[in-house]
Chain A
Amino acid sequence: MKQTKSYLAKTVEDLKPSGIRKFFDLAAGMEGVISLGVGEPDFVTSWSAREAAILSLEQGFTSYTANSGLLELRNEVSSYMKKRFDVDYNPKSEIIITVGASQALDIALRAILDPGDEVIVIEPSFVSYAPLVSLAGGKPVAVQATEEYDFKIQTHQLEKAITDRTKAIMLCSPNNPTGTMLNEKELTELATFIETHDLLVLSDEIYAELAYDEPYVSFAAIEGMRHRTLLINGFSKGFAMTGWRLGFVCANEELTAAMLKIHQYAMMCAPTMAQYAALEALKGGREDVEDMKKSYRRRRNYFVQSLNDIGLSCHIPGGAFYAFPSIVSTGLSSEQFAEQLLIEEKVAVVPGNVFGSSGEGHIRCSYASSMEQLQEAVKRIKRFVDK
């Protein structure tokens, strides 16, 4: 037999391991670490949703559901999307329940990409986008959003990346890692650009529930954009349900039918008990979601103000639960800062460069931690910066 390596797919071989992995390995072995490196809520899923999943198990709902998910859940998703974000999707033909937003991203990309098709990835970006594009046979083309515009992408920055192979743009607002959110006006400008270049948009709206200052506007709600949008959302962030692995994708009938082909062969359906939990999360009223949002907002205000007080300048992130301060004033690179902070003060953050080149000079801090932890983290970061 040849060396195992020589059997591996070239695309997979070429994928770079995520820079996050390195920090996980570093931090995982240490005692007494305060982690601001976590990309998920610090809340446990509401008891009513957990209880609904337990009940579904007691009642024996342990078989497959329809490929696109329980119709009852799709109905609830449809009315939730209508009520919350003013977008209309037919539960029978325009919604698929997926295994997290992650799988929604995967089937969306695979449904639209032919080998060599280009997809614009706006950096700093969620670490999965470019690899998912490559795995789907496409070519990720990075465009840098910059601090100068509070990490809001400008159409002139996008313009240079357009070629005749450009098929789609991946959009993420509120953004992981910068927390930046685009408002209606900014989305409308982007829509004009999309229209001009005749592109599709994968709009990752997983943080839509966590918008703190301005009302959240879905990209699909912008005039003319519904038929160009593959709208990705889920339960992980706003409903604190990361471990359930449940998300969904909404798009017009043709796009949905194409995605459903992949989904039915590659996944069959999303986990059944998780679907029952999500059903309860949607039906159970908005109090839990609103309470969590309020709590994040206060922690954001506290944390961002504290970073600025320490001398790490940070724009106010409009959504998600990440602060993305500049560490340039310390003279260190992102990686040096993150590594030394972890070793000297036992605070874990993620260096900004792992999210793309324009993230260099920044660190990603998740403020989804208790106030006590944040207070202690601020103390330690201050001590580190003052040295």
Chain B
Amino acid sequence: MKLSEKELEVVEILEKDARISSEDVAKMIGLSLQETDELIKKLEKEKVLVHYTTVVDWSKIDGHEGVTAMIDVKVTPKRGVGFDEVAERIYRFKEVKSVYLMSGAYDLSVIIEGKSMNEVARFVSNKLSTLDSVLSTTTHFILKKYKHDGTIFEPLAEDDKRIVVSP
């Protein structure tokens, strides 16, 4: 689907900050509040704007640090449905945060979040490896998140270094 220039601007603005008010978006793109609201509604209906979420640094919250693992999964595709069926069986688990079909050495990249390494290990051995089409899994645990979906978790001090008034 082709977006108008204004629609594209709204998508870019909201992707950076989903909490910005419609009033401010309206001023930024030079439309009325009503026009802006309608435009956002339309993009939501079309599922261009799928969902609004927040990037959380769980590692800061005591007792909720959790672990994230990226799992390379090799599977046998099924006739007629290819990888879609097994992908769907995997992404239905609520522990699974992302599933991507990959080119290269393995087929599916699965990202899992759990409370502990044990919990993730259990999920991989009990739920994932036991699926019929899964041939093998390789689990990588994430040790530290530096940057996630474009957001730097602990940015270096790039605060405003400019002098307060200048020509």
B28 touches A302 (CB 8 A): yes
- Residue of B at shortest CB range from A43? B158
A20 touches B29 (CB 8 A): no
Say which residue of A20, A37, A128, A298 sits within 8 Å of B13 (CB atoms). Answer: A298
A301 touches B29 (CB 8 A): yes
A39 touches B167 (CB 8 A): yes
Assuming A301-B29, A301-B30, is B164 touching A28 (CB within 8 A)? yes
The CA of A211 and the CA of B162, in the complex, are separated in Å by 23
B160 touches A298 (CB 8 A): no
Is B163 at the interface (CB under 8 A from chain A)?
yes
B167 touches A302 (CB 8 A): no
Q: Hey, what's the 0/1 contact readout for A119-137 against B, CB within 8 Å counting as 1?
A: 0000000111000000000
B17 touches A24 (CB 8 A): no
Q: Hey, what's the 0/1 contact readout for B47-60 against A, CB within 8 Å counting as 1?
A: 00000000000000
Assuming A298-B28, A301-B29, A302-B28, is B164 touching A24 (CB within 8 A)? yes
B27 touches A306 (CB 8 A): yes
- Residue of B at shortest CB range from A298? B28
B165 touches A35 (CB 8 A): yes
Q: Hey, what's the 0/1 contact readout for A29-61 against B, CB within 8 Å counting as 1?
A: 000010101111010100000000000000000
Say which residue of B158, B164, B165 sits within 8 Å of A44 (CB atoms). Answer: B158
- Residue of B at shortest CB range from A33? B164
Say which residue of B9, B20, B164 sits within 8 Å of A27 (CB atoms). Answer: B164
Is A80 at the interface (CB under 8 A from chain B)?
no
The CA of A39 and the CA of B165, in the complex, are separated in Å by 7
A298 touches B29 (CB 8 A): yes
A350 touches B165 (CB 8 A): yes
Q: Hey, what's the 0/1 contact readout for B138-167 against A, CB within 8 Å counting as 1?
A: 000000000000000000001010111111
Q: What interface size band does chain A fall in? A: 20 to 34
Is B24 at the interface (CB under 8 A from chain A)?
yes
Assuming A298-B9, A371-B17, is B165 touching A27 (CB within 8 A)? yes
Q: Hey, what's the 0/1 contact readout for A287-302 against B, CB within 8 Å counting as 1?
A: 0000000100011011
A371 touches B164 (CB 8 A): no
Is A375 at the interface (CB under 8 A from chain B)?
yes
Assuming A42-B160, A44-B158, A371-B17, is B165 touching A302 (CB within 8 A)? no
A371 touches B24 (CB 8 A): yes
Say which residue of B9, B163, B167 sits within 8 Å of A18 (CB atoms). Answer: B167
A38 touches B24 (CB 8 A): no
Q: How far is the CB of B9 from chain A (nearest CB, A)?
A: 7
A348 touches B29 (CB 8 A): no
The CA of A301 and the CA of B6, in the complex, are separated in Å by 13
A348 touches B162 (CB 8 A): no
B166 touches A39 (CB 8 A): yes
Which residues of B in the span 1-33 have a Cβ within 8 Å of any Cβ on A? Answer: 9, 12-13, 17, 20, 24, 27-30
A20 partner residues in chain B, CB cutoff 8 A: 165-167
Q: Hey, what's the 0/1 contact readout for A81-124 against B, CB within 8 Å counting as 1?
A: 00000000000000000000000000000000000000000000
A38 touches B165 (CB 8 A): yes
Assuming A298-B9, A371-B20, is B27 touching A348 (CB within 8 A)? no
Residues of chain A at the chain B interface (Cβ within 8 Å): 18, 20, 23-24, 27-28, 33, 35, 37-40, 42, 44, 126-128, 176, 294, 298-299, 301-302, 305-306, 348, 350, 371, 375
Top 3 A-B residue pairs of the complex, sorted by shortest distance between their CB atoms: A37-B165, A24-B165, A298-B28
* 26 CB < 8 A contacts A-B: A18-B167, A24-B163, A24-B164, A24-B165, A27-B165, A33-B164, A35-B164, A35-B165, A37-B164, A37-B165, A38-B164, A39-B166, A39-B167, A40-B162, A40-B166, A126-B167, A128-B167, A294-B12, A298-B29, A299-B28, A301-B28, A302-B24, A302-B28, A305-B27, A371-B17, A371-B24
